[in-house]
Amino acid sequence: MSDAPPTFSTSSVGPSTESTWPVKLAMVTIVLGALGAVGGVCGIGGSLMSGAMAGMMGGITPPPGSGPSPAEALEIVTRYQGVTIAHALVSIAVGVLLLVAGIKLRKRLKQSRKLIMIWAPLKVVMALAASAIGYVMQQESAKLMTTAATAANPVAGYMETMQTVMGILMFVWGIAFAVFMVIWFTRDSIAAEVETWS
């Protein structure tokens, strides 16, 4: 009987060298894609509800000097209802595209990079369109409030500037993830790793 200690194969032992970034980034991508699609659905619902509310409030007249009526404020939303619904529909499609890209990224499929590089410029265009639509609507709203500005509404004259700043910030926020994804997937090391996927 041999006294030599037993030996074990180490061919499958040791830390994995597989990168973890696809899993982590895929989780964020899937969540943001789902939120984008749901946000588009909510946008359609909100636009339709605003139109209905404008009709219901048509008979409400505010006291003199108190500012525009609810119907006047909602009329601006109703006027751009078609544009906002169209934007929301495209937002759903763009969100679903990101969701699918995230699922493929989680599975380490090479196609995920292509879908993300398609999604990114679409997202930038959508953010720009949303900013343009919002800016026009906010300008009309600010004009309405400024026209009705009274002692009861002392900040009406500053609304235009505030809304412009908010619009710029929302645009930057809207394209932040798209810009990050383009930068990330154009890195040589990342592009080379993606090419090794199925």
What are 70-102's pLDDT values in tens digits?
Answer: 666 677 778 888 999 999 999 999 999 999 999
Sorted by sequence, the CB contacts under 8 Å of residue 143 that are 6+ apart come out as: 160
For residues 43-53, give the mean pLDDT: 81
pLDDT exceeds cutoff 90 at 41: yes
Q: What is the pLDDT of residue 101?
A: 98
* Secondary structure of residue 72 in the 3-state scheme: helix
C-alpha 10/C-alpha 186 separation (Å) is: 37
Q: End-to-end CA distance of the chain, in Å?
A: 50
- Whether the pLDDT of residue 9 is over 50: the answer is no
Contacts of 187 (CB under 8 A, 6+ apart): none
Query: Which residue stretches of the chain are H helix?
Result: 21-56, 70-79, 81-106, 111-147, 159-185, 188-195
pLDDT of residue 58: 54
How many angstroms separate the CA atoms of 38 and 35, rounded? 5
Q: Does the structure show a pLDDT above 80 at 171?
A: yes
Give, as one character, the DSSP assignment of residue 13: -
Number of neighbours of residue 178 by Cβ within 10 angstroms: 21
pLDDT tens-digit readout, 113-157: 999 999 999 999 999 999 998 888 887 877 766 655 544 455 555
Report whether pLDDT(31) > 70: yes
Specify the higher pLDDT residue, 163 or 120. 120
